[in-house]
Chains A and B, each alone.
Chain A
């Protein structure tokens, strides 16, 4: 695509930044009105998320899965599809990945790679199913992916409650074979190599989307389906393929989580990572590379929330409110633009009043 003007690029950065600032402000008012100190909450987030090396690494570890689910949403979005199914695709990836991890004895690195590939295939197939339903029966992917989420989560729940159950007291499988487990760098945090794998995946997907014919066709399909058809693109195939790519990324996220964090399949292990991905992607403005930053930011919130509650006894629900506010403001760019105009107008009034702008009267209205 053509180079965008600099101003529009700046706006792309400013809108999420302003949204974040506004969210912090509104949340501060909320926290205050409940009788807590917003400062100690925000200080807690920073200390908790980056107060020392251990917290910093833990934050990166928490952000790994968020970066990937954010990436999953963004890929489908590039093709004009709204994949709300990362949660289910992540579960499918985790389920099939852990079956390989539990029962297929293979040598170390090959075993890990197989688990990831199988998980990607499972997640991809689960998402492609929604794509197929769209193409074949015109079923909207928002509806089908949400429904498929429930099926996948319950399928995982069934497996760990019955056939894979290893412990009477807890619904979970056995520990994966040692060859399938990705070890952590140290015992102090859960930080592990999957973070770097996630970054590599982001770059690979960026290259696919922006520098290949496949990616070009995908973006054309996303912008204008009819134009794609007229241009000779097999739009139906593109829809299924984009969903598959999106699901494969989510499937990888699932396998990373079970290989490095849980080391086994556990009932309901996802705290809604898939849904958080929608927010991560929204904050990145639908672009691919900034997902790394927005993913880390949500990791900061998640890891910070634990600490806020631990050290200040302020309910961590406020952090969830904060995240929701960020999403609301990001999703409403017109509101942000109006706010920016309002602030600009306010500044103008103040500077006019104090006479600071005398020499610029020419540009003032």
Chain B
């Protein structure tokens, strides 16, 4: 027995020494370099959207601003608090970034326990703590221009994939959440801003991970004569894109630029530059411009927008011109899209493009 134990001891020493090279040093980072920690959402890296964009923002900051960063990928909502605490109690991070509305509550308690640690929260807001910067984006700004595009195109007869009879478009959401209601209001207002008679169908999948059900909903909307459907459904959105291909119709991407996924069926994406938001927050921290409190950013701050890049759908010249014109008004703050669906009628009565 003794011999066996000796063997194990030797073996374990061998194992460890055999691999005792490479990046063995842990927690390196030059003094003076800004060190950022980020806690992603439970979807984690590889979602080709929110998490990947936030990560890209930090990679950009690493390359351009010379910061270093570490990240955490929680498995479930129960892990948010553990990870936030783990980052905060490490005491080596200048700024800890938490993304996603469901991190709001755990961060409230963690930020209270670590009053000297700076935090940035994206998509949620925490009031009354002097160490938290909350950032919320205007979802109604994000979808306004895809709404305009759909409103301008829904009646055209020179596009074979568009049904010129009904002025009907759609939006499919994962859940009936407040922020997605804002997005719905922006989309509706955009479409009816250029054509008050457009009818907007709204559907809720009931989940952000059910592409099958989303596809059925989308097919039924296309069947009813909708030619454009705005995705607002996270992972369920893939089902809508495949429905668009099957029904030979159009869909709008959301979040990261999704135009390239189906370039013949996605003319545009209601984009949200999560990467820029994260990059700028880090840059502000570096320049001493970071401050606690709540920021609500939209089109004017260039954190949300609209892009046709990578799409193979060639939009008519006149449509492109009108969208560009409206974009300028949005940037200038001359148009302020309504945030609530109930306010759209009143808003349309006051605001018309033509």
A residues near B, CB below 8 A? Answer: 10, 14, 17-18, 21, 24-25, 28, 31-32, 36-40, 42-44, 47-48, 54, 58, 62, 168-170, 172, 187-190, 257, 261-262, 266-271, 303, 306-307, 309-313, 316, 340, 343-344, 347
Contact of A271 among B15, B20, B75 (CB under 8 A): B75
**Contact B1–A10 (Cβ < 8 Å):** yes
The residues of A that contact B75 with a CB separation of less than 8 Å are 271
The residues of A that contact B20 with a CB separation of less than 8 Å are 39
Which residue of chain B has its CB nearest to the CB of A347? B7
Contact A310-B37, Cβ < 8 Å, known A25-B15, A37-B23: yes
Chain B 1-34 per-residue mask, 1 if CB under 8 angstroms from chain A, else 0: 1011001100110011011111111110000000
Q: How far is the CB of B268 from chain A (nearest CB, A)?
A: 27
Which residue of chain B has its CB nearest to the CB of A17? B8
Which residue of chain B has its CB nearest to the CB of A348? B3
**Contact A44–B26 (Cβ < 8 Å):** yes
A-B pairs with beta carbons under 8 Å apart, 7 shown: A28-B15, A37-B21, A168-B177, A188-B85, A269-B76, A306-B79, A343-B4
**Contact B4–A271 (Cβ < 8 Å):** no
Q: How many A-B residue pairs have CB under 8 A?
A: 123
**Contact A266–B78 (Cβ < 8 Å):** yes
**Contact A271–B78 (Cβ < 8 Å):** yes
CA distance A94 to B268 in the complex (A): 45
Contact A169-B101, Cβ < 8 Å, known A40-B25, A310-B71: yes
* A40-B23, A169-B179, A170-B101 given; 17 more Cβ-contact pairs under 8 Å: A25-B11, A28-B18, A32-B19, A40-B24, A40-B26, A169-B101, A170-B77, A266-B78, A267-B77, A269-B77, A306-B83, A309-B72, A310-B87, A311-B27, A340-B4, A343-B11, A344-B4
B81 interface residue per 8 A CB criterion: yes
Contact of B24 among A31, A39, A170, A257 (CB under 8 A): A39
The residues of B that contact A313 with a CB separation of less than 8 Å are 70-71
The residues of B that contact A307 with a CB separation of less than 8 Å are 86
Which residue of chain A has its CB nearest to the CB of B70? A310
> In residues 211-225 of chain B, which contact A (Cβ within 8 Å)?
none
Q: How far is the CB of A352 from chain B (nearest CB, A)?
A: 13
Chain B interfacial residues counted at CB < 8 A:
46
CA distance A42 to B85 in the complex (A): 22
B residues near A, CB below 8 A? Answer: 1, 3-4, 7-8, 11-12, 15-16, 18-27, 37, 70-73, 75-79, 81-83, 85-87, 89-90, 101-102, 104-105, 113, 124, 177-179
The residues of A that contact B177 with a CB separation of less than 8 Å are 168-169
The residues of B that contact A25 with a CB separation of less than 8 Å are 11, 15
CA distance A223 to B101 in the complex (A): 52
Q: How far is the CB of A60 from chain B (nearest CB, A)?
A: 13
CA distance A42 to B13 in the complex (A): 13
**Contact A306–B72 (Cβ < 8 Å):** yes
CA distance A21 to B18 in the complex (A): 14
Question: Is the contact region of chain A dominated by helix, strand, or loop, or is it mixed?
Answer: helix
CA distance A252 to B106 in the complex (A): 24
The residues of A that contact B105 with a CB separation of less than 8 Å are 170
The residues of A that contact B72 with a CB separation of less than 8 Å are 306, 309-310
Which residue of chain A has its CB nearest to the CB of B3? A347
Q: How far is the CB of A276 from chain B (nearest CB, A)?
A: 11
Q: How far is the CB of A293 from chain B (nearest CB, A)?
A: 17
CA distance A261 to B78 in the complex (A): 8
The residues of A that contact B86 with a CB separation of less than 8 Å are 48, 58, 306-307, 310
**Contact B19–A190 (Cβ < 8 Å):** no
CA distance A350 to B332 in the complex (A): 82
**Contact B26–A43 (Cβ < 8 Å):** yes
CA distance A316 to B73 in the complex (A): 8
CA distance A274 to B83 in the complex (A): 22
The residues of A that contact B12 with a CB separation of less than 8 Å are 21, 24
Contact of A190 among B3, B23, B37, B81 (CB under 8 A): B81
The residues of B that contact A169 with a CB separation of less than 8 Å are 101-102, 104, 124, 177-179
**Contact A168–B23 (Cβ < 8 Å):** no
Contact A28-B19, Cβ < 8 Å, known A310-B37, A310-B70, A310-B90: yes
CA distance A340 to B1 in the complex (A): 11
CA distance A344 to B6 in the complex (A): 11
CA distance A64 to B118 in the complex (A): 31
**For B11, B26, B90, B177, which residue has the most chain A Cβ atoms within 10 angstroms?**
B26
CA distance A312 to B24 in the complex (A): 9
Which residue of chain B has its CB nearest to the CB of A313? B70
